Each structure stands twice: as C-alpha cells, then as structure tokens.
Structure 1
C-alpha cells in the first residue's frame, strides 16, 4: 500500500483535464480530498480509488 499524508504531492497515472499530473493531498480519511497544482480544482475520491490512481509520492509542501 502506498503511503501518503496531508500536504504530500502525488503524481497520478492519468493527467487531469488541464494537463497536470501533480496533486496536493489536503484531507485524508475514508475519502481523500486532493487539489490540482495546475488549475486549483479540488476533488474528493474514495480512498481505494485514490490509492489505485496514484503513481508515486513526489514530495511535500512546506507550510
């Protein structure tokens, strides 16, 4: 299982409609809320679907 936490930047297997593959994790639980780093769109996915859609954890955003 891939490990991720709030503030992590993850790369997805498929690109968003805007062309970006990088997302910031902003909420973790049964559902995962992520924000596109290119256009700022926020979406919420079930955790299982999110885990299957990520390729790797790229880094972490410093707050």
Structure 2
C-alpha cells in the first residue's frame, strides 16, 4: 500500500455487498485501500474521473470483488 493517504474521507457510502464483506473480514481493509488510491476493479474512465475528483473534492469510486 502507498504510504500517504490521498484525501480525507468524507461521507462513506457502501453497498450492502460491501458491508457484508467488511463484516465478514472484521476489518475496514477496503476503506483503507480506497483512501490510499487502490481502486480495485473499475473502468479506465472511472480511474480518470477519480484522479480529477481528488483534486476537486468530488466523489470517488472503487470496487473490490474480494478482500
């Protein structure tokens, strides 16, 4: 994992499946990955939008199929 958080976490919204994964793993590993720039499996367009969003304080997207 990178050594620097890229942004402050604001409102955290998760899907029911993501919440189930977090509960199952007993950790917030996906949230840490998100904050450190590990986006999981997203499209190239979403990667570009995320890069823009970090510098403009907008929403970010990440997607993880497993922990």
Q: Tell me the TM-score range normalised by the shorter chain.
A: under 0.3
> Where is the strand percentage greater, Structure 1 or Structure 2?
1
> Where is the helix percentage greater, Structure 1 or Structure 2?
2
TM-score normalised by structure 1 residue count: 0.26
When Rg is computed on C-alpha atoms for both structures, the one with the higher figure is 2
